[in-house]
Amino acid sequence: MSQNTPTPEPAPDIVDWAHFNSGEAELHPLYPLFYPRSVAVVGASPRGGYGLSVINGLRMIGFTGAIYPVNPNYDTIAELQAYPEIGAIPEAVDAVAIAVPSPAVPGVVAQAIDAGANGGVVFGSGFAEAGAEGRALQADLRALCSGRFPLIGPNCLGVASYLGRAALWGIPNAMEREAGSVGLVSQSGNMALTLMAASRGLRLAHAASTGNQAVVDAVDVMSFYLAEPGVRVIAAVLEGLAGIERFRRVAARAAERDVPIVVLKLGRSEKASRAAVAHTGSLTGADELYDALFRQYGVVRVDDLDELIETAKLLAGDRPPAGARLGVFASSGGECGLVSDLAAASGVELPELPPETRGDLLRLLPPFANPHNPLDLTAAGWGSREINAGVGSMLAALPTIDIVAFIADNTRNSGSLAATRWDQMIAGLADAREQTDKPVAVINTIPDVSHELADELAARNLIHLAGIRTAIRAIGHAGHYAQWRVRGRALQAAVSVDSARRATALELPSAGSGGVSETASKDLLQLYGIPVPPGGLAGSLAEALELANEVGYPVVLKIEADGLHHKTEVGGVALGISSDDQLRAEYAALLGRVSAHAPAARIRGVRVERMASGLIELIVGGRNDPAFGPVVVAGLGGVLAEALQDVSTRLAPIDADEARTMLGELRGATLLGPFRGRPAINIDAVADIIVRVSQLLVELPEIQELDLNPVLADAEGCIAVDGLVVV
């Protein structure tokens, strides 16, 4: 099977999104693939291959339904009666596993449809990942199935249901596992296989490898998982999403059901291929938009498979943490120092212990102990049930703690739990768990973990996290998800399109006009209530003088020329002009600089504006992305906007609360508040501009890019000093 999965194409909806009841799994089109009563295996052979593997996997996982091998060359396969074709099977099967060469696949699918089968899996390669001929074959397959036959693949490993005890899975590893509550979907078959076989306690309800996604894609699988009452967490390995809007609907439903989605999105190094005119265009590449999408919908994005495993385990427990405030202890100061170093970078808090708790701890620990958080138990804590139970209970009782963890190691070379007295410490931690409703965890410093330890912790309902950096990251993710839930923010602000305003706006810049002049851009901004300095375009020195006296000195002069979007680069801006005489001199000097630096520019005039001031320069804007739709951006701006890269991004529409959250996410957010005697800027005024830009981009999909840079903000309000619209 080729693992060179192509970029997914938009899949046709297999779900009636308007009417589908997400609480009834049996009604979902994918239900027969995860809970089949009967399976036909087309291409099965006693000589091996995917077909025989499927039969073996069904037996290993405990499938109790009928299995029908299909191959005209054999009477029996794997001690089962074989059939020459699907139509010869004495019943309409629920699911069909297709293990034949790619040219034969459409014919088999057609037979399955005619025979009344409810869905299928195609394992083999030779489709869209294999060139033009393969793409044509996949298009034919897609057209054949569309709207009537849910098909997983091709170029995939299939589906495995631990809850349903059924598997249409091409490599029957890890079939004999206890069912859990995590629904796994992966566009990479090998990564799905790795996660299924991992001995780290990730207990799966179902697993699916979607491959080329000709018909059913990862979003469809997620929608099925959300209909499953036994699925608490969705874990996904994604290379890309073809249907962003469909994912938004699934993510919104997941938030409503409180089912976290944990995603390993591959391709962080991907760069946007288009050339951007506006600053905000270059600041919103594909990966930044995925980050915005996930952040906005509470989707947890992780960096590797280890992080995916530990985060999903933590969130799937019966006591997911209510925040990222950790109370942690160890029998060594080294581990305490390490967790202190790692916590802040992952957003994990280590609250100080109150004096009364420190006093209680000193009565339990040796007199030379120094009770803080992280807490070094000293060597006296090792192997002590009493100390581990007491410390765990005291930390869990604090209202400032969300999760309690003990850090230590029991590796495959450490010896038995009894020999190392781990059994006593585990018993103590289990005692502490009985005294609280908060999660109690054991963190291995390194991911080398003995199976005996992992099994015993699972038996005691203690969370086991392997690798201290990964564990701290997982706690941070779980805490951030809990905090996102508490905020209770609307996932998509309601926006009504003002038809009259839209019609007026479309008359300002013509479609396909490229970079719109600053004057036309600011007319558009004013139409949406975005404050700009008073001023206008002068075609001569006399008109410039007239405008300057009309708006009042001091003024600024800015060149307007076709194709010239970043005026400062050609000396096309003159600031702080306070008199007619100064304006005459600066007007001539500005035209001279522009002519020297951009001799080909066709100058339309010089814009004269009342000079504005502020405490800080921001950038607000966005673009309409072909895949993600309208995107809004806000951050630190000015001429260093692209150099600083300090922006926050959201998919529009957004409300004022979300806009304020965006500003709080900036690395330079401290500069927006009181700073070294300077007052805080008016955050509400900036948030209002962000919301208005969001409305503009939603209402005018014709706008490709939009820049307000700089937006000058102070304690009184803010104003968009410069504006660029690209149509």
532-572 residue pLDDT tens: 999 999 999 999 999 999 999 999 999 998 877 678 888 99
pLDDT value, residue 510: 57
Phi/psi at 183 (5° precision): -95, 120
Give the Cβ contact number of residue 669 at 10 Å.
16
pLDDT (mean) for 365-393: 93
- Distance, CA of 522 to CA of 501 (rounded, Å): 15
Q: Which residues of 239-263 are buried (b: 16+ CB within 10 A; e: fewer)?
A: bbbbbbebbbbbbebbbeeebbbbb
CATH 3.90.1150.10 fits 319-487, yes or no: no
CATH number of the domain located at residue range(s) 25-260+298-315 in this protein: 3.40.50.720
Dihedral of the alpha carbons of 638, 641, 643, 645, in degrees to the nearest 10: 150
At the topology level of CATH, where does 616-726 sit? D-amino Acid Aminotransferase; Chain A, domain 1 (3.30.470)
pLDDT value, residue 283: 52
pLDDT value, residue 459: 93
Which pair of tokens denotes residue 116?
């009344």
| Tens digit of each residue's pLDDT (9 = 90 or more) over 120-146 | 999 998 888 888 999 999 999 999 998
What is the DSSP secondary-structure string of 205-248? EEEEE-TT-SS--HHHHHHHHHH-TT--EEEEEES--S-HHHHH
pLDDT value, residue 18: 45
What is the DSSP secondary-structure string of 548-571? HHHH-SSEEEEEEETT---GGGGT
| Tens digit of each residue's pLDDT (9 = 90 or more) over 287-344 | 889 999 999 999 999 999 999 999 999 999 999 999 999 999 999 889 999 999 999 8
Give the whole-number percent of the chain exceeding pLDDT 90: 73
pLDDT value, residue 637: 84
| Tens digit of each residue's pLDDT (9 = 90 or more) over 243-293 | 898 999 999 999 999 999 999 999 876 544 444 444 444 455 688 899 999
pLDDT value, residue 496: 78
pLDDT value, residue 9: 54
Give the Cβ contact number of residue 396 at 10 Å.
20
Q: What pTM value is reported for the model? A: 0.89
| Tens digit of each residue's pLDDT (9 = 90 or more) over 50-98 | 999 999 999 999 999 999 999 999 999 999 999 999 999 999 999 999 9
pLDDT value, residue 601: 84
At the topology level of CATH, where does 534-611 sit? Dna Ligase; domain 1 (3.30.1490)
Give the Cβ contact number of residue 582 at 10 Å.
16
- Distance, CA of 408 to CA of 333 (rounded, Å): 11
pLDDT value, residue 511: 52
Q: Which residue has the tokens 């959201």?
A: 650
Identify the band that residue 16 occupies on the pLDDT scale cut at 50, 70 and 90.
low
pLDDT value, residue 22: 46
Helix (H, G, I), strand (E, B) or coil at 619: strand
Choice among 312-316, 568-572, 626-630, 679-683 with the minimum mean pLDDT? 568-572
pLDDT value, residue 144: 94
Helix (H, G, I), strand (E, B) or coil at 158: strand
pLDDT (mean) for 475-503: 82
25-260+298-315 and 616-726 share one fold: no
Whether residue 215 has pLDDT greater than 50: yes
Mean pLDDT of the chain: 90
Choice among 9-13, 121-125, 173-177, 366-370 with the minimum mean pLDDT? 9-13
Whether residue 7 has pLDDT greater than 80: no
Q: What is the CA radius of gyration of the chain?
A: 31
Q: Per-domain residue ranges for the chain?
A: 25-260+298-315, 319-487, 534-611, 616-726
Cα-based angle 348, 351, 352 (whole degrees, multiple of 5): 150
Whether residue 513 has pLDDT greater than 80: no
Whether residue 623 has pLDDT greater than 80: yes
pLDDT value, residue 473: 97
pLDDT value, residue 285: 63
pLDDT (mean) for 362-387: 92
Give the whole-number percent of the chain exceeding pLDDT 70: 92
pLDDT value, residue 275: 41
Strands 120-122 and 629-636: unpaired
Identify the band that residue 492 occupies on the pLDDT scale cut at 50, 70 and 90.
low
Range ranked top by mean pLDDT from 225-239, 483-497, 513-527: 225-239
pLDDT value, residue 274: 43
Which pair of tokens denotes residue 415?
């010896």
Asked if residue 545 lies in contact with residue 623, where contact means CB atoms within 8 angstroms, the answer is no
Q: Name the strand (E) or helix (H) holding 313.
A: helix 305-316
| Tens digit of each residue's pLDDT (9 = 90 or more) over 420-467 | 999 999 999 999 999 999 999 999 999 888 889 999 999 999 999 999
